[in-house]
Chains A and B, each alone.
Chain A
Amino acid sequence: MTAKKDLSAYKGVWVFVEQFQGKLTRSTLSLEILGEGRKLADKLGSELTAVILGENVEETAKELIAFGADKVLMADAPVLADYRTELYTDIICKEAEERKPDILLVGASATGRDLAPRISFRLHTGCTADCTELDIDEDKKILVSTRPAFGGNVMATILCPDHRPQMSTVRAGVMAVPQKDESRTGEIIKIEVTAKEEDAQVKVLEVKQHEASAQNIQEAIRVVSAGMGACSGDCFDQLKDLAKELDAEIGGTRPVFETGLISHDVQIGQTGKTVRPELYLAVGISGTVQHTTGMADSRTVVAINKDPNAEIFKFAHYGIVGDAKDVVPQLIEQLKAVKA
């Protein structure tokens, strides 16, 4: 290993903020991490800095202060309009080497999982991936990151004691979006961008944004969730009717996403979203840990499954053993009856 760094020189919490066309991304992940970063910075008695790169991002930078940042490091240039690994890595590494943050948090989004490892390798530091929990060790004042591994079958708590910055990527939907406070003040620091388009090795030829689902499933109060046992015949269509009747959003398991019946935005579980609605109705879902990590904190869970031994019943408050094709239409009838 290279000579031990003087760790006391590293101060403050940085959060990398993702933008799309100058605005905050549709996903609230960056704000969730900003809220968490605020908590960590307060525990350490240090500053929270948001880092944003893009084109025409000044307005967004101001917003980040309202969301809790003390400082915003901003690089604003046409060459940064589209996310590109090397350009973004170069800038962030240079700033980190100069300004020496103690902690650097990045979203575990596609962009963040592309960027964070490249930064951590170059800075010769550790990066804990896909964290669902962050804390500060009271004694050592270091970051304690917890993450699922082995496809969600185990949780691991990981430290980065001797290298800086301590890096983690954070999964979407596990931390709360902070309140916006327009009265907050802070400083925007402009980073001079020297990179030119000719320097960029990778060219972005086309960008297509997929249609957003009508509502963010993580904000839904009620979720009707489809498993493979609710996908044959008209069953899935009936489930949609049931969702309508309950004023619920439709979500589902990964295999259901793979069949194309639902979009990835509403896949629930380890490689999808984490939800905690008031009511979670699981229909034809077996209940593997990869799925249940994404829904186990729901207030009330109802499971409908034809197999009385299905794992999902271990997570349910109410269970109906039966064929979804028979139960779902009846449930719609009964809901209509009480409304009438």
Chain B
Amino acid sequence: MKIIVCIKQVPDVTEVKWDENGSLIRSGLPSIINPNDKNAIEAALTLKEEKGAEVTVVSMGPPQVEEALREALAMGCDHAVLLTDRKFGGADCWATAYTLGLAIKKLGNFDLIFSGVEAMDGNTAQVGPEIADFLELPLLSYAESIEVGDGTVKIHQKMGDLTRVIEGPMPALITCEKELNVPRIPRMDLVFECFEKEIQVLGMADVDGEVGNFGLKGSPTRLRKVFSPKRAKAQVEFLDGTPKESSQKLVEKLQEINAI
């Protein structure tokens, strides 16, 4: 079985800091493998151990994405593909899915494609379903468990207030939820080995697409502006004293404003 896992390197947005004016400090955020994508890697490696599989990780981004790919290799993935080209820059979901889709087509010969449900920076959750459409594959989204049968694959799908069990033929694309598993830590012996492994690098010329469909040029969406959400609006009045006193004050205040 051959599995392709799409991973994105993202800034760790849980580490975001604000300056005294309430503006976001963008620089200096650590780069990590998108958390959902680690669940996708783990799911692929579990299948590798249980059924035997060759696992290829693919990522599109600037050259430093290599770090993320090396980490995936150190977790136990077999091959890594880096899609990097200045022409890929500024891609929205459409152009990202197009580029990843072309690369996957070129790699060919796969049984399953895994992606994360959502990337923690862009937060759109659109790239997985879009790749599925490009490759005309059945889409099994929000997987909380994955079971591979004979030519078919079945998942538990977390769908808002529903949980469903759905099944489709392979090849298929599955988007992975955090409930799926607990990702492993890279293995020490593999950490050393992963630096020797070759990473396949593909640029625009290697993936056979229409020039106008890549990067910013190929992106139907246009960013008009980015701004910080409203913060700090209330002027707090602290109600001091013992728990009893402060509670008493609060109840009085709430009565005054008819909140209770």
Residues of chain A having any CB pair with chain B under 8 Å? 1, 20, 26-27, 82, 85-86, 89, 109-111, 113-118, 120-122, 124-130, 144, 148-163, 201-210, 212, 222, 246, 265, 278-279, 289, 292-293, 296, 299-303, 308, 313-323, 326-327, 329-331, 333-335, 337-338
Q: Is the CB of B210 within 8 A of A159?
A: no
Residue of A nearest to B222 (CB): A159
With A89-B133, A110-B160, A124-B94 in contact, do A330 and B244 touch (Cβ < 8 Å)? yes
Are the CB atoms of B221 and A158 closer together than 8 Å? Answer: yes
CB distance from B171 to the nearest CB of A (A): 11
In the complex the two chains form, what is the Cα distance from A115 to B248 in whole Å?
Answer: 52
Contact of B124 among A26, A129, A299 (CB under 8 A): A129
Cross-interface CB contact of B237 among A161, A293, A317, cutoff 8 Å:
A317
Interface membership of B247, Cβ < 8 A? yes
18 contacts between A and B (CB under 8 A): A1-B213, A117-B125, A124-B94, A127-B221, A129-B93, A130-B124, A157-B226, A159-B224, A161-B222, A162-B220, A207-B162, A209-B162, A222-B259, A293-B229, A300-B259, A308-B238, A322-B243, A335-B251
- Check A318/B239 contact, CB under 8 A, given A118-B133, A151-B120, A334-B251: yes
B169 at the interface (CB under 8 A from A): yes
Could you list which residues of chain B lie within 8 angstroms of chain A, going by C-beta atoms? 11, 13-14, 16, 24, 92-94, 97, 120-130, 132-134, 138-142, 154, 158-169, 210, 212-213, 217-240, 243-244, 246-248, 250-251, 253-255, 257, 259-260
A210 to B24, CA, bound (A): 38
- Since A85-B129, A212-B161 are in contact, a sample of 4 more A-B pairs with Cβ atoms closer than 8 Å, ordered by chain A residue number, is A246-B260, A318-B238, A333-B247, A334-B251
Question: Does the CB pair B231–A86 fall under 8 Å?
Answer: no
Main secondary structure, interface of A, reads: mixed
Which residues of B sit under 8 angstroms from A210, Cβ to Cβ?
161-163
Cα distance, A4 to B218, chains bound together (Å) = 12
Chain B minimum-CB-distance residue to A270: B123
A317 touches which of B16, B124, B234 (Cβ 8 Å): B234
Are B246 and A26 in touch, CB under 8 angstroms? Answer: no
B158 neighbours in A (Cβ, 8 Å): 110
Query: Among the listed B134, B141, B163, B220, which residue makes an inter-chain contact with A160, where contact means beta carbons less than 8 Å apart?
Result: B220
Q: How far is the CB of A259 from chain B (nearest CB, A)?
A: 14
B164:A204 contact, CB within 8 angstroms: yes
Closest to A206 in B: B165
Nearest-neighbour CB distance to chain B for A217, whole angstroms, equals 13
Shortest beta-carbon contacts, A-B, top 10: A126-B220, A126-B221, A117-B126, A129-B124, A1-B212, A206-B165, A110-B160, A163-B220, A121-B130, A151-B13
In the complex, are the beta carbons of A208 and B154 less than 8 A apart? Answer: no
Chain B min CB distance to A89 (Å): 7
Q: How far is the CB of A272 from chain B (nearest CB, A)?
A: 12
Contact assessment for B165 and A118 in the assembled complex, using a CB-CB cutoff below 8 Å:
no
Contact A129 to B231, CB < 8 A, known contacts A160-B222, A314-B236: no
Complex Cα–Cα for A109 and B97 (A):
21
The residues of A that contact B168 with a CB separation of less than 8 Å are 201-203
> Are the C-beta atoms of A208 and B247 separated by less than 8 Å?
no
Which chain A residue lies CB-closest to B221?
A126
Contacts of A113 in B (CB 8 A): 125-126, 129
Report B172 CB to chain A, min CB distance, Å: 8
Residues in B whose Cβ lies below 8 Å from that of A301: 234
CA distance A201 to B226 in the complex (A): 40
Q: Are A1 and B218 in contact (CB under 8 A)?
A: yes
**In-complex Cβ contact of A265 among B161, B223, B254 (8 A):** B161
Is B123 in contact with A150, judged by CB distance below 8 angstroms? Answer: yes
- Assess whether B238 is in contact with A319, with CB atoms less than 8 Å apart: yes
Give chain B residues whose Cβ lies under 8 Å from the Cβ of A326.
243
Q: Is A121 a contact of B97 with CB atoms below 8 Å?
A: yes
Given A113-B125, A206-B164: A314 in contact with B237 (beta carbons within 8 A): no
| Partner of A319 from B24, B210, B222, B237 at Cβ < 8 Å | B237
What residues on A are CB-neighbors of B253 within 8 Å? 318
How far, in whole Å, are A45 and B40 apart by their CA atoms in the complex?
46
CB atoms of A322 and B164 under 8 A apart: no
> Could you tell me the distance between the alpha carbons of A335 and B39 in the complex, rounded to whole angstroms?
47
Q: Whose C-beta in chain B lies nearest to the C-beta of A20?
A: B162
A331 to B242, CA, bound (A): 11
A320 and B224: CB pair below 8 A?
A: no
Q: Tell me the nearest residue of chain A to B211, going by C-beta.
A: A1
- Nearest CB of chain A from residue B232's CB, rounded to whole Å: 4
Contact between B236 and A318, CB atoms less than 8 A apart: yes
Q: Is B161 a contact partner of A314 (Cβ separation < 8 A)?
A: no
